[in-house]
Amino acid sequence: MAIIYHVKSNVFQLDGKNSTYLIGVYDNKFVTSLYYGKKLEILKPERLSVIRELGFSPSPNDYFYQRSVSLDTLPQECPSFGYGDFRIPAITIEQNDGSRCVDLRYKSYEILSEKPQITGMPSLRDDGNCDTLKITLKDELTSVEVDLYYNVYNDRDVITRHMVIRNEGNEEVRVTKAMSCSFDLRDNNFNFLQLVGTHCEERHIETTPLRHGITKIESRRTSSSHMLNPFMALLRKDTTEDVGEVYGINLVYSGSYEGCIEVDQRHTTRLQMGISSFDFEWPLKAKEQFETPEVVMVYSANGLNAMSLQFHDLYNDCLLKKHYHHPIVVNNWEATYFGFDEEKLDKLVGAAKGLGIETFVLDDGWFGKRNNDECSLGDWIVNKDKLPNGLQGVADICKKNGLKFGLWFEPEMISIDSDLYRAHPDYAIALKGREHLHSRCQMVLDLSRKEVCDYVIKAMSDVIDNVDISYIKWDFNRNITETYSKQLSHKYVLGLYYILETLTSKYPNIMIEGCSGGGGRFDPAMLYYTPQIWTSDDSDAIERLFIQYGTSLVYPPTTMVGHVSVTPNHQTGRVTPFKTRGIVAMSANFGYELNPQVLSEQERELVRQQTHEYKHLRKLIYKSDFYRLRSPFGGNDCAWSFVSKNKNDVYVMYVRILNAATNEFDWLKLKGLHPNRIYQNVETKEKFTGSELMNAGILLPRHPYDFNGLMYHFKVVKE
Ligand code: DGJ
């Protein structure tokens, strides 16, 4: 049992594999954060609970003669606003008299052996060794009760949290802030790490020293966004990839969110994450409840790579659905954009035959009268001018060439110039009396309305039921504006999950690739439904080094999609070797974003080799440890490796960015091998001990040109 209740000291001890989280109940009233860090054996946990008087920090009435007790200085697990604590609250609840103060006091606890699911939202599965602590707090005046859930994964260093707010009173209240987690760390000696970006430049790593006051990441786009991924981490000042403490938090949610850190006057650090409280208000009538999404908290005492391994294993084991086949695809977007017809596709797919590619994905432009991005979203009816034999005609082309068929949709959108809009203008999110606001010439369907969600399900089902498809690319190319109510944003996300839940249950064998102009909605909740996501609209191999490296901090390579595209690259104009493009794309779910007709015979041979190699690598990627060996951020190269769980099979990828004339000796050191085993380079047959590869490294060759890519495959052999 990973949850121990120390009766005498009124302390809950949550033990992971190498970590401990201690929660106190001060004076049987206030639920406090006592400790989070390396695993502890502790004799007197109450020793960690300290109070000291501080000027300007108010005391509750029951402590009139004990000024040292103040919510402003107690480290707390569920701080509220306006009743003593001036720091950021985790919860605010507006009452009919206008007050937003609640005085939440400890009521009871329960230890559950099953991990509870969250209504209407994805959450992580139990891995078979999970225990849950539920702590209930109560505000006497309003009878609002709050359940704090802590799910402890006993064999990992992972705690997931969420909170349920229940209105047990008789009057309506309004929830205006409800974080999924909040906790206070005992000091502020940290750097702050976030994943920042924009369209075509997602999830770049940014690290800054943590300062006093509030540091915040947020999305107000009803999307987890290209700009700031719902992930943040605190690192000790000396933390690197391989050593030092890290606290990483990731929200299982696809809409507007916030992650806040506050360093206070006593140099303690409060961390919280949840749905964005900006433009948010959720009414709770008597006996109603509100559930927050789940947040995942990972602790590592051994640097960033160890944190990533925890996230990767957890998501592979407990988030992603495992039964899907992840095919090698060829996608026609960069090959044709909107300019295709059946004849062209016949040639394109025909040229893919025999290359080892498994699925053809027909991208945007197959429906309505969509020859550009100005119309037809919502009209999921095949364009017979382009495809006279309908979608089944394309499916038949795929079949005759030994490929499966996949199809692009952008289900959440509506164009003004569409039959759907002409019939149902009210389906678009809009503000009464104001002109529409366009982004990529399109508007968003109001998924907060069930009938709109049901329309989407029916329109997609009508297509899926009438053509053999095994794969869907689900795109989302604008963010949401004109939020006409403070509930719209969250209701939209719930509507989206309802659609995805319905469709994935109805068509369990159709794999959905997520996409939002690339990686604009790369979050764990989307991954629950769409187990792989088009990582970025930037397909340039060099820019992808940064994007994939940053993404790998949290998300396993099994969730990313990488394609080899043509050169000059369509986004950057850069020319990189075909081999390098393959190495980068093969480190994710692999495919091609080009017309195979344009390939030279030599390139076709390379494609055959790549798909052959990838079929072996794919099996490994899904059961491996991913190591970052060299960072492209601030460097001139990037290296990473996949090491099978039994440490016997190893792929190492290396890309040098700009070349130099110097003849340097550059040794690349590997990680995660067995020091005493003998590893053989599959290509050269040369043998090494694991300790040599890890401590002395492999000597990299002189690079012949810019953007040189190298791939090594080692296997353990018996001596
Ligand atoms: C954005 C996606 O990221 C692209 O791959 C492509 O599907 C286009 N949308 C199509 O409109």
304, two tokens = 């960033």
Mean pLDDT of 176-183: 98
CA–CA distance, 268 with 701 (Å, rounded to integer): 49
Out of 223, 340, 362, 477, mutate this one to test ligand 1's pocket (max ligand atoms within 8 Å of CB): namely 477
- Sequence-separated (6 or more) residues with CB below 8 Å from residue 50: none
- Sequence-separated (6 or more) residues with CB below 8 Å from residue 88: 79, 214, 260, 262, 270, 272
Q: What is the full DSSP assignment across 237-261?
A: TT--SSSB-EEEEEEE-SSSEEEEE
Q: Catalytic one among 72, 313, 446, 475?
A: 475
CA–CA distance, 499 with 450 (Å, rounded to integer): 9
In this prediction, residue 570 carries a pLDDT of 98
* Residue 294 scores a pLDDT above 80: yes
Atom of ligand 1 nearest to the CA of 537: 3
In this prediction, residue 663 carries a pLDDT of 79
Question: Residues of the chain with pLDDT > 90: what percent?
Answer: 98
Mean pLDDT over all residues of the chain? 97
Confidence label for 505 from pLDDT (cuts 50, 70 and 90): very high
Q: Catalytic one among 85, 313, 446, 537?
A: 537
Contact 333 CB / ligand 1 (< 6 Å) = yes
pLDDT tens track for 541-569: 999 999 999 999 999 999 999 999 999 99
Mean pLDDT of 445-462: 98
CA–CA distance, 372 with 374 (Å, rounded to integer): 6
User: What is the DSSP pairing of strand 11-15 with strand 3-6?
Assistant: antiparallel
CA–CA distance, 386 with 369 (Å, rounded to integer): 9
In this prediction, residue 100 carries a pLDDT of 93
What single-letter DSSP state applies at residue 668?
E
Distance 408 CA to ligand 1 centre (A): 9
Distance 644 CA to ligand 1 centre (A): 33
Taking CA atoms only, the protein residue closest to ligand 1 atom 11 is 364
* Residue 386 scores a pLDDT above 80: yes
Mean pLDDT of 22-51: 95
- Sequence-separated (6 or more) residues with CB below 8 Å from residue 324: 509, 511, 531
Distance 537 CA to ligand 1 centre (A): 7
In this prediction, residue 1 carries a pLDDT of 60
Confidence label for 719 from pLDDT (cuts 50, 70 and 90): low
Lowest mean pLDDT among 110-114, 201-205, 625-629: 110-114
Distance 596 CA to ligand 1 centre (A): 19
Confidence label for 439 from pLDDT (cuts 50, 70 and 90): very high
Active site residue 238: no
Three-point CA angle 564, 199, 260, nearest 5°: 125
Mean pLDDT of 637-658: 98
Are the C-beta atoms of 479 and 427 separated by less than 8 Å? no
Contact 477 CB / ligand 1 (< 6 Å) = yes
Active site residue 475: yes
What single-letter DSSP state applies at residue 63?
G
**In 313-403, where do the E strands start and end?**
329-331, 359-362
The alpha helices in 424-522, defined as continuous H runs, are: 450-464, 488-506
CA–CA distance, 102 with 97 (Å, rounded to integer): 13
Alpha-carbon dihedral sign for residues 469, 472, 477, 483? positive
Other CB atoms closer than 10 Å to residue 502's CB: what's the count? 16
Contact 518 CB / ligand 1 (< 6 Å) = yes
pLDDT tens track for 395-433: 999 999 999 999 999 999 999 999 999 999 999 999 999
* Residue 194 scores a pLDDT above 70: yes
In this prediction, residue 113 carries a pLDDT of 85
- Sequence-separated (6 or more) residues with CB below 8 Å from residue 138: 104, 105, 107, 144, 145, 146, 168
- Smallest Cα–Cα separation from 124: which of 313, 252, 290, 311? 252
Contact 367 CB / ligand 1 (< 6 Å) = no
Are the C-beta atoms of 632 and 638 separated by less than 8 Å? yes
ω into 556 cis (within 30 of 0)? no
